[in-house]
Structures are given as structure tokens and as C-alpha cells.
Amino acid sequence: MKYMEQFNYLRKKKNLKLTYLDPVDMGRSRFYRLMSGEQLPTIADVTTLALFLNFTAFEGVTAFYERPSKADLLAPEHDTTYDIWDVASILEIILTATKNLRGHPTQANLAQSKMIFEKIKTNLATQKYFPTTIDLIDLITAEYEHKPDEADHFLTAIYDRLIKRDAWTTYEISIIAILATLRRVSDTSLFVNLSSNLDELMQIVADDHASMFLINNLKYSLFISAIYRRDHINIKKFYKSLQKERQSQQDTYLAFHQKFAEILYLELLGHPEDAEPLKTAFFSAVEVILDNHLLDKPNKTSFLEQYQHFSDFTNAWREDDCDGDSYANMLY
């Protein structure tokens, strides 16, 4: 099986011998039956193998899912009937295939989208556990083929499933985001109703950046849509929803570190004229974003102190190595 092949690949790359496996947790015969595909791994098996590979909990689960690409689904020789897919990857591919059907698609785009949809619909795990994905594909197809009655049928089925769930994870959020791209779904009240409880229903782990991105994009779209509809209530509603601290602080702070490093690097290269406008914009952004939204992180004062220490050090470095040329490239 592919997930066992992945395990074996990582085991060899980490130079871990099978003799290190505790026979109480997993015997040799059990391991080889899993490798041959004769048996499927249980949660206990996945846990044992993840611990054996020194995985985090997140790595331990994701290592045993297929993350197919568009190319994988377009390969005629690739039998995907028995694959176990990462649902976020599949929905991303569906979104791409949907965009290929807009306007006046080429015959090549039509053929690709059809093949992608067919492979997803014939996948056994999708049929068994993700019937809403099948309905979504049928809705997209009916919309493209201008079959309004069929499209309404599938849209109603999807909507009914979503509103009956008391918790939404990446799957439900991704479905909503794809629905928002369809021409058939012109009634924005659908998304207002579905998204009104996003913050309450959403059960997303803190490091699920893809879901956070989808959620905030959906909220922003609803906010802009409300403005153009002059919908006072929902303008306020989605503005307040957007301001809730759902973004990843780590990602936000990392973006500032990357830009700060760029400023320092330009100065080390001897290009202060390029660094200066970036520096001005950077400290303005720190004041507006970090000081207001990430109060537990170093703010403008901290970055200014870091920059001053850097300037003092590099000035001394130039004097030592560059004979007083204050803007020489020190990275020779």
C-alpha cells in the first residue's frame, strides 16, 4: 500500500532498522502484511509507526494520506480507485478544475476537468465518506451544462448537509469557499446563513493555515459583497468577524521578520538607497499591524532597537574592514 511504502521510504532515509520496532507494539508478521496490502493499518498501527519515525501528531497522520496533484489525476495509467486522499488537496484540485470551465473553455480544459471529476467520483473512499464532494462535482457539471433543475437539486442537498452539522472543519469550509465561486449560487443569503456561525462552528487547529486562509477570504468576500448591496447589518457583521483574531500570529510575525531581514541585507550589500523606502514602509506597517493586533510580540520600539544595534555593529564592521567606506558591500 502507498502509505506503507511512504513509511518504508522514510524509515530507510532515517536509517531506522525494523529490529528497533517493539514486537509488542507491532510484530514482524503484522508489518509485512501491512506492507503487502493484505491488511489495512489501524489507528494503533499508525500511532506505532509515527512514534517509530519520531513524527509529530500532525506528521503522523498526514504521512499516511495521499496528497494528489492535478497531474496525478490526469495520468491515465494511475488507478486512484483505492487511494486515501487528503481532503484539502482534492478540494483544491476541484476548485482548479471548476475555474477551467469558466467562460469559453478549450477542449483540452474540458477533457481535463472531466477526467479529474470522474476519477474523484469513482474513488471508493470519496464515495463512502465524502458524498458531499460527489454532489459538489455534480453541481459544477450541471451548472456548466446549463441544467438548472439538476443544479438546484445538488445545491439543496449540499446546503442541507452543511446546516445540519454542528461543527465545521477544513472540509466544510472548503466546500463553502468553492460554492462561492459558482455562478449558479447567486443568492448571497446562502453564504450569509452558512457563514453566520463560522466562528462558533469552526473546529480548526491553530496551525491549519489553509483553512484559516479560506475562512478569512470568505469573510472578506462577504464584507465586500455587503458593501455593494448597501447591506448595513452585514457590513457591520462581517467587518467585526474579520477583526476577530483568527489569523496565525506566527505567519504574520514571520512576514515581518522576512521583510526586516531584506532591509538589513540591502544595507549589508551597500544599497542604502534601496533599503530606505522599505525601512520607512516597514516601520509604519509594524506600528499599524503588530502594535494593534499582536500585542504579545515585539513591536515598533523593539524593531527600532534591533535596527539601531545592527547599524552600530555594521558601522564598526565597515570601519574595521572597509577603510571607512560607509556603504561598501561587506558580503564579498
Task: State which amino acid sits at residue 228.
Answer: Y
Whole-angstrom distance, CA of residue 268 vs CA of residue 322: 12
Name the band, by pLDDT with cuts 50, 70 and 90, for residue 201: low
What integer best gives the mean pLDDT of the chain? 80
Average pLDDT of 159-183? 78
How confident is the model at residue 178, as a pLDDT? 83
How confident is the model at residue 294, as a pLDDT? 59
**103 or 33: which carries more pLDDT confidence?**
33
**318 or 280: which carries more pLDDT confidence?**
280
Angle, alpha carbons 61-66-70 (nearest 5°) = 140
Chain centroid offset of residue 144 CA: 27
Residue 279 has pLDDT above 90, yes or no: yes
- Most trustworthy range by pLDDT among 1-5, 7-11, 317-321: 7-11
Nearby residues of 13 by Cβ (< 8 Å), 6 or more positions away = none
Backbone angles phi, psi at 85, to 5 degrees: -100, 150
Q: Are 12 and 1 in contact (CB under 8 A)?
A: no
Coil/strand/helix, residue 85? strand
Whole-angstrom distance, CA of residue 42 vs CA of residue 40: 7
Strand partners, 66: 85
Q: Are 173 and 93 in contact (CB under 8 A)?
A: no
- Which residue in 116, 114, 101, 98 sits closest to 178, CA to CA? 98
Q: Which long-range contacts (CB under 8 A, 24 or more apart) does 71-74 make?
A: 73/115, 73/116, 73/119, 73/120, 74/112, 74/115, 74/116
Name the band, by pLDDT with cuts 50, 70 and 90, for residue 247: low
Whole-angstrom distance, CA of residue 158 vs CA of residue 78: 29
Q: Where are the domains of the chain?
A: 2-62, 70-243, 249-321
pLDDT digits (tens, 9 = 90+) for 22-78: 877 888 888 888 888 777 777 788 888 888 888 877 777 777 777 888 888 998 888
Residue 228 has pLDDT above 80, yes or no: no
Q: Are 41 and 31 in contact (CB under 8 A)?
A: no
User: Residue 157, class by beta-carbon neighbours within 10 Å (0-12 exposed, 13-18 middle, 19+ buried)?
Assistant: middle
User: DSSP letter at 20?
Assistant: G
Name the band, by pLDDT with cuts 50, 70 and 90, for residue 200: low
Fold of 2-62: 434 Repressor (Amino-terminal Domain) (1.10.260)
Q: In the structure grid, which three cell numbers stand for residue 135, read together?
A: 454532489
**132 or 315: which carries more pLDDT confidence?**
132
Whole-angstrom distance, CA of residue 155 vs CA of residue 153: 6
How confident is the model at residue 55, as a pLDDT? 83
Name the band, by pLDDT with cuts 50, 70 and 90, for residue 238: confident
SS3 content of the chain, % helix, strand, coil (to 5): 70, 0, 30
How confident is the model at residue 118, as a pLDDT? 95
User: DSSP letter at 19?
Assistant: G
Average pLDDT of 84-108? 86
How confident is the model at residue 303, as a pLDDT? 87
Strand partners, 85: 66
Residue 277 has pLDDT above 90, yes or no: yes
The DSSP code sequence of 201-268 is HB---TT-HHHHHHHHHHHHHHHHHHHHTT-HHHHHHHHHHHHSS-S-HHHHHHHHHHHHHHHHHHHH
How confident is the model at residue 261, as a pLDDT? 92
Name the band, by pLDDT with cuts 50, 70 and 90, for residue 280: very high
Residue 259 has pLDDT above 60, yes or no: yes
**323 or 48: which carries more pLDDT confidence?**
48
Coil/strand/helix, residue 202? strand
- Which residue in 17, 35, 218, 180 sits closest to 95, CA to CA? 180
Predicted TM-score of the model (pTM): 0.63
Torsion over CA of 6, 70, 174 and 207, rounded to 10 degrees? Answer: 40
How confident is the model at residue 150, as a pLDDT? 92
How confident is the model at residue 282, as a pLDDT? 93
Whole-angstrom distance, CA of residue 309 vs CA of residue 267: 14
